[in-house]
Structure 1
Amino acid sequence: MFHAPNAFQRPTLPPASRESEPRHHAPAATDGGPAPASGRSAQAPAAKRRDAYFDNAKFLAIVLVAVAHSWVPVMDGSRAARALYMVTYTFHMPAFILISGYFSRSFDMSPAKVKRLITGVAVPYVVFETAYSLFRRYADDPTAAISLTDPWYLTWFLAALFVWRLTTPLWRTLRHPLAVSLVIACLASLAPGIGDDLDLPRVLQFLPFFVLGLQLTPEHFQLVRRREVRMLALPLFAVAVVFAYWAAPRMELGWFLRDSAAQDMGNPWWSGVVMTLALFGCATLLTAAFLSLVPRRPMWFTVLGAGTICGYLLHGFLVKGAGYAGVFDRNEWMISPIGLVLVSVVAAAGVTLMCTPPVRRVLRCVTEPDMNWAFRRDAARL
């Protein structure tokens, strides 16, 4: 799922920050904990209460992200695994991005919000892009370079969120922002010379989901949580799995990653436009179905929704580390159905542990750093 880190950390956001909390929700607690007892002194500042629904959505989405990443090394030769991968990749990142956009609606380039963007998105990106590059260099490729303009593996999302958030005032101003963003995504899907700086193809091709999130209102989330929608969600997923099973040997997975142009995959240019629009429609439907199934009440995993930034940024070390260690190569039985289930369970358990409050506290220095020393005290007045 879910903005990262706002989407990951404060749902009242894959992945919300104080500056982007929608007024219709009860404010979110800064520590992700429950609301204070009503008997607390009136003089004390009221603690903010998190929205359990969005915390649940973020946690379930990050579990899907980790599990889908774990399938990559073991799904070769398994048509069923490839189909599940296609279905999951159709909506898990779009869901994160959509929620990120929803909680970015109030971003207006004010000093406080720019500061939060730098400390909550730019700093984690620099730290973890460097960490992943060093990890890759010492574990697999001694020649791997450290480049902050070329995101590796999963850090692209932080770079994309930084760009999307900066452009929020523009999308809030346009008359038909979603249509414009879809045109941009279509053009990116047929422009092989666009370059890989900041993973720009993904930034542009996933852009419509962020813009869609900016257009949503509380009533839209109430709508997808209606009983009628929930009853349609499971049949919709069943149809999607059946179709994906049929399409698995016929469709390239690059369409779901959205990191290449159609020509880069050996397809005609017009197929980029067709697939961009088709996948946007499918992703929107499956995201709505997913959100309709998310529990609205507090669950045992609700508290973990506040730490999904940690789960997102750390689970890559688990998945890539297992690959570098040859875990998947030495055990051919992992490509069997039992192996696929085992890998999924391990990935889900690992990312769950990474979202726990102790891990979040340890990583707060890089995911929620206090950098007052770097900013002028009179910035708001200026």
Structure 2
Amino acid sequence: MTARVQPDSGAPAQARVRQTWIDQARWAAIVLVVAGHAVGMLRGSSGLALVVSNYVYIFHIPVFVMLAGWGARRAQADGTGLTKIFWQLLVPYVLFQLIAFGFNYVFEDDNPSWSFTFQTFGLWFLVALAGWRLIGPWFRGLRFAVPIAVLLAVAAGFSSNIDGFLSLSRILYFLPMFLLGPWLVDRISEWRSDLRFRIGGVAVLAAGGVLTVLLGGNFNREPFLGNVGYEAMKMSALEGTGWRLLALAAGTLMAAAFMLALPGRPNAPSRLGSSVAEAGRHTMYPYLLHLPLLTVVGSTALVDAGQPTLRTAAFMAGSLAFCIVASWKPVRMLTAVVVEPRTLFPPAPGKVS
């Protein structure tokens, strides 16, 4: 869901290898995002949907946040940086907030709030990413930046009023992962060449899956969302602090394991690897386009059609198919006006976009 990072043609080969697997990781993660949202509509009727939804919510957002941090590792809080934030994040946010108002009114009979300080479903990430890009450069000059960010994440939970306003709760909750991203993603790039680390990643993912299955309906995914404070989760300050630290640690560990466990060889020599890497450079399309589609699907009988387990499997397969189609070049060309509006207003010659 991060804006595309242009590879540096003059960069060393190792940097280009890292970019290749990172694009593949983005693609795999966006499929999990779409699938997690899709099966989330079936949580009340399917045990499989409940487990899948709980499982992916542990780490799919941390994966994107850390990759976003890596992609913004050289971003500056200057005019060029502000211009990118405006065109890549804020303009699409306003456009899709308006689209959400229209779709919610037509398909859910929900009158538009016309509020842009509180995001409709799924759009919080654009606002949060803008916030991280703005404050990230200030943290680079601090010693112990990540521990300080962890303290801020914990402190945010003490506010009884913190919620979806400008995504402030999630900006602070996921800030440690955003700041950790540049260091951790570079380490993972090195560790992926060691089979022991790859096997360890698979083991961690499997252990998380087993635990999620064993807990079933008792799994508490609320702390992993980072969208409300401790009081709203009906937790004491001490209990909320413990859960928040646990969720941050588990999310980071599982996200790292996910990136380690992904298959693939350097430079994506296979046709499939190259295709996945190319699709991973355009994850904004499946991310943004699936949100109004979910509103349409949720208003139909599809959410109640057929046997629950088969319905969940169909929704997961449909999510994969949708991500493939949404990343297809003709679809991107048709929808770029709302997903990447900057393409309609290219910078003047000599200007940096």
TM-score if structure 1 supplies the norm length? Answer: 0.82
Compare the two structures and name the one with the higher helix fraction: 2
**Structure-1 residue corresponding to 2:65:** 97
Task: Kindly provide the amino acid, as one letter, of the partner of residue 290 in structure 2.
Answer: H
Deviations 1:100-144 (A, max 9, x none): 001111111232222122111111111111111221122113423
1:318 correspondence with 2:290: no
1:197 correspondence with 2:155: no
Within 5 Å, give how 1:191-270 maps onto structure 2: 191-216=159-184, 218-270=186-238
Contact 2:99/2:292 (CA < 8 Å) preserved in 1? no
Contact 1:201/1:259 (CA < 8 Å) preserved in 2? yes
Tell me the C-alpha RMSD between the 2 structures: 2.8
How much does 1:22 deviate?
A: 11
1:282 to 250, 253, 260: 250
How far apart in 2 are the matches of 1:288 and 1:245? Answer: 21
| Structure 1 residues not aligned, in runs of 5+ | 13-17, 29-48
How much does 1:356 deviate?
A: 1.4
Distance 1:217 1:50, change over 3 A: closer
How much does 1:372 deviate?
A: 9.6
1:62 correspondence with 2:37: no
How far apart in 2 are the matches of 1:272 and 1:66? Answer: 28
Greater alpha carbon shift after TM alignment, 258-267 vs 369-378: 369-378
Within 5 Å, give how 1:170-185 maps onto structure 2: 170-185=138-153
How much does 1:273 deviate?
A: 1.2
How far apart in 1 are the matches of 2:205 and 2:84? Answer: 37
Distance 1:371 1:71, change over 3 A: closer
Larger relative contact order (C-alpha < 8 A, sep ≥ 6)?
A: 2
Greater alpha carbon shift after TM alignment, 76-85 vs 101-110: 76-85
Distance 1:25 1:191, change over 3 A: farther
Deviations 1:142-164 (A, max 9, x none): 42312211111111000000010
Greater alpha carbon shift after TM alignment, 311-320 vs 299-308: 299-308
The alignment-based identity, stated in percent, is: 24
Task: Kindly provide the amino acid, as one letter, of the partner of residue 320 in structure 2.
Answer: A
Determine helix, strand or coil for the equivalent of 1:322.
Answer: helix
How much does 1:176 deviate?
A: 0.7
**Structure-2 residue corresponding to 1:354:** 326
Within 5 Å, give how 1:355-374 maps onto structure 2: 355-370=327-342
**Structure-2 residue corresponding to 1:10:** 5
Distance 1:80 1:190, change over 3 A: farther
How far apart in 2 are the matches of 1:183 and 1:263? Answer: 18
Distance 1:232 1:11, change over 3 A: farther
Greater alpha carbon shift after TM alignment, 166-175 vs 261-270: 261-270
TM-score if structure 2 supplies the norm length? Answer: 0.88
**Structure-1 residue corresponding to 2:102:** 134
How much does 1:210 deviate?
A: 0.7
| Structure 2 residues not aligned, in runs of 5+ | none
Contact 2:54/2:219 (CA < 8 Å) preserved in 1? no
**Structure-2 residue corresponding to 1:307:** 282
Contact 1:307/1:357 (CA < 8 Å) preserved in 2? no
Distance 1:372 1:315, change over 3 A: closer
How much does 1:229 deviate?
A: 1.1
Distance 1:374 1:176, change over 3 A: same
Distance 1:230 1:141, change over 3 A: same
How much does 1:258 deviate?
A: 1.9
Q: How many residues align?
A: 345
Contact 2:42/2:50 (CA < 8 Å) preserved in 1? no
Contact 2:40/2:49 (CA < 8 Å) preserved in 1? no
